[in-house]
């Protein structure tokens, strides 16, 4: 299994707005080959720290998604968020190979 976490930090007062954006996400990734799950995590002590946690069967499945037209289209839309403060956020991406369970 392969895990990808993308963490962003926004002002605490913007957290609910970002959560709402993810609640209304396109869900096209859900149909990608090898996709297992998506969760949006909120730091228990810092409301403005949010992490997208995605699980994939393999690194190759994830890379195939990243190179897809759907991925490019979805991430282009992010640049058009009405709130430009959210549009300019750059996530910290961490990738993990599961090595034990």
List the Cα angle 63/94/91 in 5-degree steps: 95
Domain that holds residue 11: 2-97
- Residue 77 is predicted with a pLDDT of 65
How many domains does the chain contain in total?
1
Are residues 8 and 50 in contact, defined by beta-carbon separation less than 8 angstroms? yes
CATH number at residue 66: 3.30.70.100
Q: The whole model's pTM is what? A: 0.87
| pLDDT tens per residue across span 30-58 | 999 999 999 999 999 999 999 999 999 99
């Amino acid at each position: 299994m392969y895990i990808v976490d993308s963490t962003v930090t926004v002002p605490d007062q913007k957290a609910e707005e970002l959560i709402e954006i993810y609640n209304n996400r396109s869900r096209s990734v859900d149909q990608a080959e090898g996709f297992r799950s998506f969760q949006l995590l909120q730091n228990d002590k810092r409301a403005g720290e949010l992490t997208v946690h995605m699980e994939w069967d393999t690194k190759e499945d994830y890379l195939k998604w990243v190179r897809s037209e759907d991925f490019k289209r979805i991430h282009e839309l992010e640049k058009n968020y009405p709130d430009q403060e959210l549009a300019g956020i750059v996530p910290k991406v961490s990738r993990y190979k599961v090595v034990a369970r």
